[in-house]
Amino acid sequence: MATAEIQLKPKDYASEVHPDWCPGCGDFGILNAVKQALAELAIEPHKVGIFSGIGCSGKIAHYLKTYGFHTLHGRVLPVASGAKLVNEELTVLAMGGDGDGYGIGAGYFVNTGRRNLDMTYMVFNNGVYGLTKGQASPTRQRGEKTKSMAAPEIQDNINPIGMAVSAGYTFIARGYAMDVKGLKELVVAAINHKGTSFIDVLQPCPVYNDIQTMEWFSGRDRPGRSPRVYKLTDDESFDPVVHDPLDAGEIVSKKQAALGKSYEWGDQIPIGLLYKIDLPTYEDRMRQRKGFEPGAEARSIIKDATPGQDIALTLEQYR
């Protein structure tokens, strides 16, 4: 993927469109982390496809100078998956908000985990529907009431990391938008991972989320001012990587550990890699069925399908 001769800088991925996100929005941190990650990996812009959903987060496709598809609310994963299936050589990044991915797009979030296509999905998780003016999102906890909600949330929140663990994602991480360096590292690792990588990115919404604010995440609101987010790499007892993918016992124990971490919230919020396993991708399995040698180089199917291709052999079976 990376070519030694090419020197790319984050600004090489910046489009001429000025982001119209609100001042202080976590989306800026995510945009910077993505540009830095692509530059570090030296993936040429035309080899990248950014797919985004609908909402503030969805606009990111316009702010990056790559191939960009600003899709439908909740449907970003199917669109990205379809593109990746036929155009394997493209580096595919799918992005969307937490309402987009965990609410209207929940079915696709779950089922994309089953396939393990070689792509990355980032969810900009700010706990609110920002662009529709601050309604509660599926990650909003019961009883919480942000300033634009008419009444406290009556439903329970979902656990995105837990859902990803059970859906079968092979790379699961949580980032924090204000920790751009740490997030950049996660994005680099996610793109390098062969399989579907999922990053839940916590971010403040300075306009509508007056509970999980930047001050709240950094702990400046409490005595001692110790940050609420902490890095999983600081917990030496936690190893998120499955070292033997054939060991069913190890898989279960690593998934249990990730699930345990996913319920840490409030005073201690872990960020970093939560689970990783190397398994054959959908593309690998498909190629194997078509009779390719194991480990064959990625080759997009659109290069082989030819209009007018011969069907005579199949036709004869109908006589």
Q: Is 15 in the site for another protein (CB under 8 A)?
A: yes
> In 220-257, which positions are buried (b, 16+ CB within 10 angstroms) versus exposed (e)?
eeeeeeeebbbebeeeeebebebeeeeeeeebeebbeb
Nearest approach, Cβ of 290 to another protein (angstroms)? 5
Q: In the bound complex, what is the minimum distance in angstroms from residue 155's beta carbon to another protein?
A: 23
**What part of residues 63-82 is at the interface with another protein (CB under 8 A)?**
65-72, 75, 77-82
Of 81 and 146, CB closest to another protein: 81
Nearer to another protein, 25 or 258 (CB): 25
* Whole-number Å distance between alpha carbons of 34 and 240: 23
Tokens of 247: 């060991």
In the complex, minimum distance from the CB of residue 17 to another protein, in angstroms, rounded to a whole number = 6
Q: Is 313 in the site for another protein (CB under 8 A)?
A: yes
CA distance 47 to 231: 32
Angle (nearest 5°) at CA 78 between 75 and 79: 85
User: Looking at this protein, which amino acid is placed at residue 242?
Assistant: V
Output the furthest CA–CA distance in the chain (Å, rounded). 82
Binding of another protein at residue 280 (CB under 8 A)? no
Q: Which of 9, 89, 133, 267 binds another protein (CB under 8 A)?
A: 89
Nearer to another protein, 90 or 273 (CB): 90
How many whole angstroms separate alpha carbon 314 and alpha carbon 188? 45
Q: How many residues bind another protein (CB under 8 A)?
A: 59
153/283 with CB nearer another protein: 283
Residues facing residue 173 across a β-bridge: 199, 273
Q: Which is nearer to another protein, 46 or 147 (CB)?
A: 46
Torsion of CA 98, 99, 103, 106, to 10 degrees: -40
Q: Out of 6, 17, 241, 298, name the contact with another protein by CB under 8 A.
A: 17
Residue whose CB is less far from another protein, 150 or 313: 313
Q: Across-strand partners of 129? A: 135
**Interaction residues for another protein, span 29-48 (CB under 8 A):** 44-47
Q: Examine residue 224 and tell whether it contacts another protein (CB under 8 A).
A: no
Which residues, 99 to 138, sit near another protein by CB under 8 A? 107-108, 110-111
Rounded to whole angstroms, the Cα distance separating 278 from 118 reads 11
Size (the chain), residues: 319
Q: At what angle do helices 248-262 and 160-167 cross, to 10 degrees?
A: 170
Q: Which of 154, 263, 289, 297 touches another protein (CB under 8 A)? A: 289
Q: Residues in the site for another protein, rule: CB under 8 A? A: 15-17, 44-47, 49-51, 54, 59, 61-62, 65-72, 75, 77-87, 89-90, 107-108, 110-111, 286, 289-291, 300-302, 304-309, 311, 313-315, 318-319
